[in-house]
Amino acid sequence: MLLVMTREHKPTFCRICEPLCGMIATVEAGRLIELRPDRDHPVSAGFACQKGIAFAEVVNDPDRVTTPLRRGADGHFSPVSWDEAMTDIARRLAAIHRAHGPGAVGWYFGNPGAFSYSHTLSLNMFMAGVGPRMHLFTAGSQDVNNRFVASQLLYGTPLALPVPDVLRTDLLVVIGANPVVSHGSVLTQPRIKDRMHDIVKRGGRVLVIDPRKTETAAQFEWLGIVPDGDAYLLLSLLQVMFAENLADRASLSRQADGVDWLSQLARPFSPEATAARTGIDPDTVRNLARDLVRTPRAAVYGRVGTSTGENGTLTTYLLDAVNLVAGNLDAPGGAMFGRYGLPGERWLNKAGAALLRGVYFRRRSRIGGFPSVLGSEPAGVMAKEITTPGRGQVKALFVSAGNPVLSVPNGDELESALAQLDLMVGIDLYVNETLAHCDYVLPVTSMYERDDFPLPFQTLQPTPFRQATEAVIAPVGQARAEWEIIDDLAQRLWRLTPGLAMQAFMRKMLGVFGVRLSPRLLVDALIRLGEGGDRFGLRRGGLSFARLTGSYPHGKVLAANLRAGVLRDVVVYRGRRVRLRHDEISGEVDKLARRSVPDGYPMRLIGMREARSENSWMHNSPLLMRGERTQHARMHVDDAAAADIADGDVVRIASVSGEIELPVIVTKDIVAGVVAVPHGWGHKGTAGWRLANRAGGANVNKLMSSHPDDIERLAGMARLTGVPVRVVRAEPAS
Ligand SMILES: Nc1nc2c(c(=O)[nH]1)N[C@H]1C(S)=C(S)[C@@H](COP(=O)(O)OP(=O)(O)OC[C@H]3O[C@@H](n4cnc5c(=O)[nH]c(N)nc54)[C@H](O)[C@@H]3O)O[C@H]1N2
Ligand SMILES: Nc1nc2c(c(=O)[nH]1)N[C@H]1C(S)=C(S)[C@@H](COP(=O)(O)OP(=O)(O)OC[C@H]3O[C@@H](n4cnc5c(=O)[nH]c(N)nc54)[C@H](O)[C@@H]3O)O[C@H]1N2
Ligand code: SF4
Ligand SMILES: [Mo]
């Protein structure tokens, strides 16, 4: 008999990181056998990185969770049926909800969750059903929540996020980001490295301000900075712009209120006054300020390095303020705003912003009293929310698409807190270090087993672009999409919980009319109503989910560039001008003068990302781990020599909070006094991913503090950079 193997090549896109590169998935007999870059994708045009290509190994990983698992008394996981798992989970959750209310329920939503519209939307619906005091923790408090708060202060809405127009700029100043490795963040620009080289080719400059001469800095210009010195540098740039009258005051006052206030705020921070804090020569700062104003198309851009210091909200506010004062906000080649193009978008933005601002100002976390950023509280206090008795103590925790034991400050504290939970459920591809503590781990579809439309990234693209995809293969094993799991859980919970009967009734009623509130319905409506959408038939040839996947499988460019001059539509404040004056900001500036360092910790710890890692979760891919990869610290040759440390030695890095040991690479490509350690390592071998466990490494977040005093006030951001540490050679094994 002749067995005919059909082999299909399906266009789709990668959702590991933010450029969302176009991919061709080769599917044979229902199996994903290969991923390769899509040459017909209009923006990524045949580019994909090693992680994207290696993802086929994740999909087919023998260590992947493919059935629901229950942890037995001996700590080992064994398979159970979906119904058995969901029945027990719902019963226990309902009992906890009944006894302690919604405040006893917590959910940690990790980074890959943001790359699935249906995961995000269904979780929001679930939380609305459980009740307003349910706890939500996200990776955002280790990443980007400060960006939302800075935008809320400046523009009145947390959702107005400026992106550098890399396609048209002639001076790009990258502060605390490493796009050659990270591929860009809060910026959806495939082939970002090529686009940065284009800037240089057309006679422009790319300047990288970073404590480490990163892979990006090595290809462009590098200016070293003392970790967490950015707020001082940015204040000095403003000071020079105002003192030298470089700023166009007339146009500034059309765009913003509080310009004089800002100029007063920056006044004490001359480049001479801040040089010791930044390590940057005053003339260099002056010239940079002048260049930013005088180069017609210039932008400063910051990311994780400027978000995770002591004053991340201030620093991000200042990045935008520098763009504004230099005349580069909302201008071609500057920092620009993408728009989604919904009818009545400004009105919707205003309503949404009012809601989110209300939540921010009214809701405070039980531990530490932190404001709620987009409905979430700092993951840094999650452990204490679990261990501190009283109303609102978390007793049931769900973790979807996250590994907080390795990603939030003080992983040890969190690990021991998890042991106290009455119910813990993980929804993941793997039994990671966090999920090893679960009662149940539920198998989930990978991105290629679900449809998608990357909703949160639509306004972050210098080339406005739309792409949607259907699943390219059926779910592996018994995996289910998050939204199906959440929907099933909701139905069971509503049935078991009398207080939530109203939700159950609403569902039924909608069901009678044939309406299933599926995330797909919602996202389709958003595509149809947005820019380029078919407006439900009103615009012929317009887009819908089906039309995107059917007629534009490689995606569709909506416009070559972002539109400038939209600031008045983006800002929701009455008067439509950027609001610079905030007590919160002057309060943070006051704190700069009070910064202190504990004795005995002379070095500063920073983070770094690696091309063949994705946070904690791709260390089980043989392709990415080839060459016996392990985790290394990086330190300067002079510091190493002074401490009698040689390249390859194991060093002990200690902070006030903890210590770790790992081998070191000695280099000149880092500012003296700084040590860099990648996060996402520290895999350990009880369950789960075998290759990752063998690679081991150390959890750098053992060195980070989860004390509420060490968490940034305005956005609840963990302090993950500039952390005072001591580095010594670990005693050689005897
Ligand atoms: N290969 C790979 N790509 C990724 C990821 C990954 O793990 N691996 N993760 C993805 C995720 S979740 C994100 S959020 C993005 C992040 O994207 P990026 O922010 O571009 O990536 P990072 O490597 O964190 O870059 C932060 C930079 O800030 C520098 N830095 C640290 N402290 C300071 C400081 O105080 N001041 C200044 N000026 N610089 C500082 C660091 O040396 C580092 O180069 O990357 C995404 N892409
Ligand atoms: N020291 C230090 N710590 C950091 C950072 C740093 O720079 N320095 N960076 C921070 C940042 S920016 C981030 S974003 C966080 C990340 O922190 P987390 O989001 O907590 O952790 P990840 O390591 O990204 O783990 C993601 C998990 O999701 C799973 N997963 C992958 N795809 C899917 C999917 O489609 N569905 C589901 N349900 N699960 C999936 C993976 O198997 C993995 O277990 O780390 C933060 N921690
Ligand atoms: S750069 Fe990011 S989106 Fe593109 S292929 Fe690599 S992992 Fe995927
Ligand atoms: Mo992130």
SS3 string, 177-190, reads CCHHHHCCCCCCCC
pLDDT score of 600:
97
Q: Rounding to the nearest 10 degrees, give the CA dihedral for residues 491, 496, 501, 507.
A: 10
pLDDT score of 610:
98
What are the tens digits of pLDDT across the range 59-97?
999 999 999 999 999 989 999 999 999 999 999 999 999
Residues sharing a CB contact under 8 Å with residue 220, sequence separation 6 or more, in sequence order: 174, 196, 200, 205, 206, 207, 208
What are the tens digits of pLDDT across the range 92-147?
999 999 999 999 999 999 999 999 999 999 999 899 889 889 999 999 999 999 99
Nearest-CA residue for ligand 3 atom 8 is: 52
Nearest-CA residue for ligand 2 atom 28 is: 401
Nearest to 68, CA basis, from 442, 437, 488 = 442
Mean pLDDT of the chain: 95
Side-chain half-sphere CA neighbours of 546 within 13 A? 4
The pLDDT confidence band at residue 515, using thresholds 50, 70 and 90, is low
Residue 734 has pLDDT above 50, yes or no: no
Strands (E) located in 99-179: 105-109, 135-138, 163-164, 171-175
Q: How many residues does the chain have?
A: 734
What are the tens digits of pLDDT across the range 586-612?
999 999 999 999 999 999 999 999 999
511 versus 277: the higher-pLDDT residue is: 277
**Ligand 1 atom nearest 214 alpha carbon:** 44
Distance 506 CA to ligand 1 centre (A): 44
- Tracing tokens 């580095």 back to the chain, one arrives at 727
What are the tens digits of pLDDT across the range 446-502?
999 999 999 999 999 999 999 999 999 999 999 999 999 999 999 999 889 877 766
What are the tens digits of pLDDT across the range 289-344?
999 999 999 999 999 999 999 999 999 999 999 999 999 999 999 999 999 999 99
Tokens at residue 405, please?
């034991």
Residues sharing a CB contact under 8 Å with residue 466, sequence separation 6 or more, in sequence order: 453, 458, 527, 532, 543, 548, 552, 555, 556, 558
What are the tens digits of pLDDT across the range 232-291?
999 999 999 999 999 999 999 999 999 999 999 999 999 999 999 999 999 999 999 999
Distance 103 CA to ligand 1 centre (A): 34
Q: Which ligand is nearest to the CA of 655?
A: 2
Residue 731 has pLDDT above 90, yes or no: no
What are the tens digits of pLDDT across the range 160-195?
999 999 999 999 999 999 999 999 999 999 999 999
The model's pTM: 0.97
Alpha carbon 644 to chain centroid, angstroms:
38
Secondary structure of residue 540 in the 3-state scheme: coil
Q: Delineate the domains of the chain, giving CATH numbers in brackets.
A: 7-59 (3.30.200.210), 145-339+579-589 (3.40.228.10), 598-729 (2.40.40.20)
pLDDT score of 505:
61
Secondary structure of residue 374 in the 3-state scheme: coil
The helix-helix angle for 312-325 and 145-155 (nearest 10°) equals 50
Distance 167 CA to ligand 3 centre (A): 19
Alpha carbon 600 to chain centroid, angstroms:
33
CA distances from 474 to 79, 80, 117, 471, 711 (A): 20, 21, 18, 7, 43
Distance 327 CA to ligand 2 centre (A): 36
Residue 50 CB neighbour total at 10 angstroms: 14
What are the tens digits of pLDDT across the range 213-232?
999 999 999 999 999 999 99
Using a 10 angstrom Cβ sphere, with 0-12 exposed, 13-18 middle and 19 or more buried, the burial of residue 520 is middle
Phi, psi angles (nearest 5°) of residue 322: -65, -45
Nearest to 155, CA basis, from 302, 320, 300, 323 = 320
pLDDT score of 93:
97
5 versus 708: the higher-pLDDT residue is: 708
| Amino acid in position 17 | C
Side-chain half-sphere CA neighbours of 161 within 13 A? 22
Bridge pairing between strands 22-28 and 31-37: antiparallel
Which residues on adjacent β-strands are paired with residue 36?
A: 24
Residue 206 has pLDDT above 70, yes or no: yes
> Does the beta carbon of 407 sit less than 6 angstroms from any atom of ligand 2?
yes
> Does the beta carbon of 454 sit less than 6 angstroms from any atom of ligand 3?
no
